[in-house]
Amino acid sequence: MKTAICFAMILLLALSLQAQSPARMSYQSVIRDAGNNLVSNHAIGIRISVLQGSASGAVVFSEIFNPNPQTNSNGLVSIEMGSGIPITGSFASIDWTAGPYFIKTETDPTGGTNYTITGTSQILSVPFALHATTADSLTGNLHETDPIFGSSTAFGIDGTDTAHWNDAFSWGNHAAAGYVFETRTLTINGVSQDLSANRSWSLGTVTSIATNNGITGGTITSTGTIGLTGQALALHNVSSNGFFVRTGLGTVSSRNIVGGTGIIVSNGSGVSGDPTISAKTYQVGDFVFGGIVFWVDESGQHGLICTKSDQSTSIRWSAGTYGTTNAKGDGVYAGRMNTAIIISAQVAIGDDGASNASKTCNNLQITESGVTYGDWYLPSKYELNLMFLNKTIIDSTATLKGGSAFATALYITSTESSASEVWFQSFNTGAQTVYSKDNIFGNYHMRAVRAF
């Protein structure tokens, strides 16, 4: 019996979307036979189903294809879901808001309907354009439910208000037309004038100004400025939100500038000196964003962080079945893509459900200073070596923050070497070498990383 290994699945929204026409999704898979050989330039039988709720949920849509899809010289088959012969349901009628949904593929590499290969994977992100089609079903009035908007002045504006604004706009110059409805007085040289009745007069040289609504003026100085008294402007400390706000009655009470998250204030506080505001930078050994910095880029604002303790002292790389995942990436940030590829490929190769290195990193959540970080991944061999080169500094910070130092043991990477082997690094000698994906020595250590 022939079998096939699908180690790459790509779901893409169809590039052309027309009004009232059904959306489609592209599906690609590499087909191999029982000998792990590519099934190249060959017609294959395939049935696609969309399951609702779980991997064994109800079939809301299924289809087959005639003529059969054809693999290319690399064993890659490409089809458009929604373009085949429907067996159950309609692709266009799937309610993508009622997920989760799973895609089940059944394959006959000989081109018939004897489907010997079955795989099921969850659709973790519904294409935006498919979700957007639900707007076609909206009817009636749409009501704004944003609580911030609901408490604002704009929430009460209706058609009557806009009609009044249009009328007022047609009046032209309001001051000349006499549309001043409330009393506003201005005192010049001790003589008060009602602005609603008089709009121009001559009282000679102005020596002082006072108002009765909001700001009390003072005597005009020899330099021509107005000395304000009473309700003058007061500034609050500039905090992380970056705003100046008036604190109440009185004179200017404070103008301190305080740096917030990611901001540094130097050369003064605003009360004195010549303050400079700049972006905060980081260095190896800093404890921020859930872990310990072990590499920063040229800007000093971004880099890589490792956890303050190992996630395991005895863990395997495989998911129970050997097979090539193509997680060959190496370098800065490469481990993030490697981890995603490993998890996806192991579903097709064979996942026994037990824990492994990539899955453990992907599921990891660490909370520091009230913030939870959940985007950890298994480091590439290059990233792991950066940790080894800075392990003295990392160990010092880890111990200070309640963590633990690196062990003099083998640490696992996300960089694959072959179908059965992966790269490791000794944190005793620093040497990097390949070993089995299974935890044959019983001491494979692991420490997760994340980018910031």
pLDDT in tens, 199-221: 565 656 666 555 554 444 455 55
- Categorise residue 429: left if φ over 0, alpha if ψ from -120 to 50, beta otherwise: alpha
Average pLDDT over residues 230-245: 39
367 against 154, higher pLDDT: 367
Number of domains in the chain: 2
189 against 180, higher pLDDT: 189
pLDDT band of 284, cuts 50, 70, 90:
very high
| Residue 57 domain flag | yes
Whole-number pLDDT of residue 214: 42
> For 423-446, what is each residue's pLDDT tens digit?
999 999 999 999 999 987 788 999
Here the CATH number for the domain that contains residue 62 is: 2.60.40
> For 76-124, what is each residue's pLDDT tens digit?
999 998 899 999 998 888 988 888 999 999 998 888 889 888 889 888 7
Instruction: Look at the alpha carbons of 321, 322, 325, 328 in this order and tell me if their dihedral is positive or negative.
Output: positive
| Residue 173 domain flag | no
Mean pLDDT (the chain) is: 79
| Residue 422 domain flag | yes
Whole-number pLDDT of residue 183: 60
Sheet holding 410-416, edge to edge: 410-416, 421-426, 432-436
Average pLDDT over residues 317-321: 94
Name the phi and psi angles at 188, rounded to 5.
Answer: -125, 125
Final residue belonging to a domain, choices 102, 133, 164: 133
Contact 48, 105 (CB under 8 A): yes
Lowest average pLDDT, out of 29-43, 131-145, 385-399, 403-417, goes to 131-145
Gap between the Cα atoms of 325 and 420, Å rounded: 10
Contact 338, 381 (CB under 8 A): no
Average pLDDT over residues 289-304: 96
Element of type H or E holding 169: helix 159-169
Average pLDDT over residues 137-151: 63
Gap between the Cα atoms of 37 and 44, Å rounded: 15
Whole-number pLDDT of residue 395: 97
Final residue belonging to a domain, choices 133, 164, 185: 133
Rounded to two decimals, what is the model's pTM?
0.45
* Cα dihedral 157, 162, 164, 165 in deg (nearest 10): 110
Which distant-in-sequence residues (6+ apart) come within 8 Å of 255 by Cβ?
Answer: 235, 270, 271
| Residue 22 domain flag | yes
| Residue 380 domain flag | yes
Which distant-in-sequence residues (6+ apart) come within 8 Å of 277 by Cβ?
Answer: 257, 259, 263, 264, 265
Average pLDDT over residues 299-303: 93
pLDDT band of 179, cuts 50, 70, 90:
low
Whole-number pLDDT of residue 244: 41
| Residue 272 domain flag | no
Domain containing 441: what range? 287-451
| Residue 246 domain flag | no
- Which residue is listed with tokens 């950890």? 376
Final residue belonging to a domain, choices 99, 115, 133: 133
Whole-number pLDDT of residue 452: 95
Which distant-in-sequence residues (6+ apart) come within 8 Å of 91 by Cβ?
Answer: 22, 23, 24, 50, 61, 63, 81, 82
Average pLDDT over residues 284-306: 96
Query: Which range has highest mean pLDDT (19-23, 227-231, 298-302)?
Result: 298-302
Gap between the Cα atoms of 206 and 169, Å rounded: 34
Degrees, nearest 5: CA angle 450-451-452: 125
Average pLDDT over residues 152-172: 77
| Residue 282 domain flag | no
- Cα→Cα distances 48→82, 106, 228, 353, Å: 9, 7, 77, 24
Whole-number pLDDT of residue 161: 81
